[in-house]
Amino acid sequence: MTDGIFLGVDGGGTKTEFICIDGSGKVIARAVTGTTYHLQVGIDEAVNRLGQGIRAVCAELGITPAALDHSFFGLPAYGEDSVVDPQLDAACARLLGHDRYLCGNDMICGWAGSLGCEDGINIVAGTGSIGYGEREGQSARAGGWGEVFGDEGSAYWIAVQGLALFARMSDGRAPRGILHERIVKALSLRDDLELCERIMGTGGMGRGEIAGLASIVSGAASEGDSGAAAILRSAAEELAAIAGALRKRLGFPDGAPVSISWSGGVLSQEPLVRGPFVGMLEEMGFDFVEPRFAPGHGAALYARKRAHRLPQQDSELRRANQSHP
């Protein structure tokens, strides 16, 4: 191993990835646990899964957490709750047994991985959605307000829009397209109203399961369902709007090229969203950068970057992350 061990934790809405790199950036250990989204699994379970991942990578390397030079925990919804954030921060300190770490929102992982910690903007569109960027030491976020009234363009949002269209099709408020048949088949519905029970009833679907239904919407769109296609177009527009807002907030000069990349399954795997998204942003003067590293690797790169900061700088950033910008 070369010159240090750095742990990055990328907490997503479906899974959490733990990556250790050495000083050269080479991946030397990896582990995966379930989501650490505390609003879905609770704080205790989120912390339990963080502990599982830390123990797994340390066991792979034959070390204890004391040997980790610096760690970055990119956690879902971190920075959005002044009561929960300190609890998560303190839990990470207990799990590591030292203070060489920083907690932040998982949006940072996507940016750090996609752009290699260089200035620019990253749009995350996975289970949820959010944008994050940095310019000359300044940072900003947009989106990421959660599934109740935000996360536009995410897999969850696409799925919910698809379910709403299914309901309109069932009622006759919208022409019945392929999407209706695909949802009935995928969920084995005996009656259209059974959808309410499957989604919201006892034992109904969780956030990740609902987000998984986005593939039904994209499948229907690829088969010619115009309503489903319109949902994917709207997703692209919402994600492009996040990018545009970040460009303004970070003060990138008009006409200057701005590097932009993406992470998450929607933009990585869904061409009917990524295509329009790229077209819209090319018109706005963005320069597209293919993601250089996955978000988990990005978290580790960010940990390595933070290791060279003064301790009080991380303390200041901890406080800053505990309030929504």
pLDDT in tens, 133-150: 999 989 999 998 888 888
Find, among 102, 106, 97, 88, the residue nearest to 46 by Cα. 88
> How far is it, in rounded angstroms, from Cα 20 to Cα 50?
14
| Local confidence band at 311 (pLDDT 50, 70, 90 cut-offs) | low
Amino acid 202: pLDDT: 87
* pLDDT given for residue 125 in this prediction: 94
Q: Indicate whether 259 pLDDT > 50.
A: yes
pLDDT-wise least confident of 239-248, 250-259, 308-317: 308-317
Residue 284: φ, ψ to 5°: -90, 0
pLDDT for residue 73 is more than 80: yes
Residue 308's pLDDT band, with cuts at 50, 70 and 90, is confident
Other C-beta atoms closer than 10 Å to the C-beta of 206 total 12
| Residue 87 structure tokens | 């609890």
| Closest among 275, 251, 312 to 119, alpha carbons compared | 251
Reported confidence tier of residue 256, pLDDT bands at 50, 70, 90: confident
Q: How far apart are CA 50 and CA 87, in angstroms?
A: 13
pLDDT score of 314: 57
Q: Are 105 and 78 in contact (CB under 8 A)?
A: yes
Runs of H (alpha helix) within the chain: 38-41, 43-61, 84-96, 107-115, 155-171, 178-187, 194-200, 207-211, 214-222, 226-249, 265-269, 271-283, 295-306, 311-320
Ordered domains of the chain (ranges, CATH): 5-116+294-320 (3.30.420.40), 120-290 (3.30.420.40)
